[in-house]
């Protein structure tokens, strides 16, 4: 019977998994449907992993217990799970699901995104969506991650962080502490949301799960970004603060890495991919202030996404030399799925003005 390497990707919008066999020549893809892995009941988000295992088992015509028993490695990249903190729940699930002592690999979403984007090569990845983190690696394989400690104490510059800053302005208006620019911004935000501004705080306080709070704040963050694009000065200052946080993380990562050559930049996550105004401003700041960054050849924004990255991790391929030598069959299978197509494009926000300014 074939042996499998399993890869699990848990994101806010969609959780997916891969079963990889024959050195990557055969790849099976499954998802858990439109369910957030942190929406599961009874405080057991890892139950989505069981849904994914069941879906993969159907794809390879095995029962879940047999698939688990025949899996030699498992890789996990799951929102909110970070090996720097605690991943015991993942270890517990692996034990309970019937795996026979597989090799375990765990990384955050920025780590999987970096591996998919740069295929084990050097680069700087900024992930900015519901959360934020910076992941940098050099050609030797040394890597550094900054940020990504969770929405309560970290994730500065993300959509959720931006939404929180917007609602702080709302409470300052309600408490008669606001300056005129804040008042004008809050009025515009209320008009955009078609609600009295204070209702936004009431709605936030009505959320009983952290993941729902993060989603709500992220929606407000996106609205704030759009108001900045339309010319609101206070919203634009908030975006500037967001950029400053992300640039600071990038500086810290590259300084610790001591990169001898400029690292190509990759921007990932909903905030940079959906909001060109945000990503353009971030690129300008990044390229001007972090001297060890550059625009990649062909101005590409990486190659693949985090799903391919966690697949490479499941195969134990994290360095560009190993990916090139042993990962070709897996990447050929991924290409047949068309998984590179969404990413083979220019950096978001990289208009001719930005590019010309940094030749």
3-state secondary structure 169-206: HHHHHHCCCCCHHHHHHHHHHHHHHCCCHHHHHHHHHC
Task: For 23-90, give the secondary structure using H, E and C.
Answer: HHCEEEEEECCCCCHHHCCCCCCCHHHHHHHHHHHHHCCCCHHHHHHCEEEEEEEECCCCCCCCCHHH
pLDDT at 298: 67
Positions in the chain short of pLDDT 70: 1, 12-13, 33-45, 259-260, 298, 341-345, 351-359
Close Cβ partners of 75 (under 8 Å, ≥ 6 residues apart): 5, 6, 7, 8, 104, 105, 106, 107, 310, 311, 313, 314
CA 126 to chain CA centroid, Å, is: 8
Of the candidates 57, 95, 104, 55, the residue with the CA atom closest to the CA atom of residue 76: 104
H/E stretch holding 317 reads: none
pLDDT at 263: 92
In this structure, are residues 309 and 112 in contact, taking their beta carbons and an 8 Å threshold?
yes
In this structure, are residues 40 and 211 in contact, taking their beta carbons and an 8 Å threshold?
no
Task: Tally helices (H) and strands (E) across the chain.
Answer: 15, 10
State how far the Cα of 66 lies from the Cα of 57, in Å rounded to an integer.
8
In this structure, are residues 358 and 320 in contact, taking their beta carbons and an 8 Å threshold?
no
Coil, helix or strand at residue 334: helix
pLDDT at 359: 40
In this structure, are residues 286 and 278 in contact, taking their beta carbons and an 8 Å threshold?
no
- Count Cβ atoms within 10 A of the Cβ of residue 92 and give its class: 0-12 exposed, 13-18 middle, 19 or more buried: exposed
pLDDT at 356: 44
Beta bridge partners of 266: 125
Long-range contacts at 348-351 (CB < 8 A, ≥ 24 apart): 348/267, 348/272, 348/273, 348/276, 348/279, 348/280, 348/301, 349/267, 349/272, 349/276, 349/277, 349/278, 349/279, 349/280, 349/281, 349/282, 349/283, 350/280, 350/283, 350/295, 350/299, 351/280
State how far the Cα of 81 lies from the Cα of 276, in Å rounded to an integer.
28
Q: What dihedral do alpha carbons 259, 264, 268, 271 form, nearest 10°?
A: 90
State how far the Cα of 184 lies from the Cα of 45, in Å rounded to an integer.
41
In this structure, are residues 159 and 275 in contact, taking their beta carbons and an 8 Å threshold?
no
pLDDT at 15: 85
């Amino acid at each position: 019977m074939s042996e499998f390497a399993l890869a699990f990707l848990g994101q806010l919008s969609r959780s997916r998994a891969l079963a990889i066999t024959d050195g990557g020549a055969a790849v099976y893809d499954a998802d858990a449907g439109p369910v957030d892995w942190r929406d599961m009941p009874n405080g057991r988000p890892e139950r989505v992993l069981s849904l994914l295992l069941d879906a993969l088992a159907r794809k390879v015509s095995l029962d879940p217990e047999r698939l688990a028993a025949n899996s030699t490695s498992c890789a996990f990249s799951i929102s909110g799970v970070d090996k720097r903190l605690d991943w015991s729940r993942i270890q517990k699930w692996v034990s309970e699901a019937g795996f026979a002592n597989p090799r375990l690999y765990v990384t955050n979403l920025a780590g999987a995104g970096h591996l998919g984007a740069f295929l084990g090569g050097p680069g700087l990845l900024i992930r900015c969506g519901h959360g934020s983190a910076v992941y940098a690696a050099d050609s030797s394989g040394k890597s550094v991650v900054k940020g990504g400690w969770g929405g309560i104490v970290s994730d500065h510059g993300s959509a959720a962080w931006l939404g929180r800053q917007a609602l702080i302005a709302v409470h300052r208006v309600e408490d008669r502490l606001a300056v005129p620019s804040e008042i004008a911004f809050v009025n515009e935000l209320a008009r955009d949301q078609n609600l009295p501004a204070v209702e936004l705080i009431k709605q936030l306080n009505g959320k009983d799960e952290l993941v729902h709070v993060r989603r709500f704040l992220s929606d407000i963050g996106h609205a704030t970004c759009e108001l900045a694009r339309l010319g609101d000065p206070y919203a634009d200052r908030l975006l500037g603060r967001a950029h400053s946080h992300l640039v600071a993380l990038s500086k810290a990562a590259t300084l610790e890495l001591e990169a001898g050559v400029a690292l190509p930049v990759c921007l990932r996550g909903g905030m940079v991919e959906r909001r060109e105004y945000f990503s353009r401003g971030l690129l300008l700041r990044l390229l001007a202030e972090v001297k060890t960054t550059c625009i990649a050849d062909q101005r590409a924004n990486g190659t693949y996404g985090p799903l391919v990255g966690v697949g490479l991790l499941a195969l134990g391929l994290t360095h560009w030399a190993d990916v090139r030598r042993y990962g070709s069959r897996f990447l050929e299978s991924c290409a047949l799925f068309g998984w590179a197509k969404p990413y083979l494009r220019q950096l978001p926000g990289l208009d001719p003005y930005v590019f010309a300014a940094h030749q």
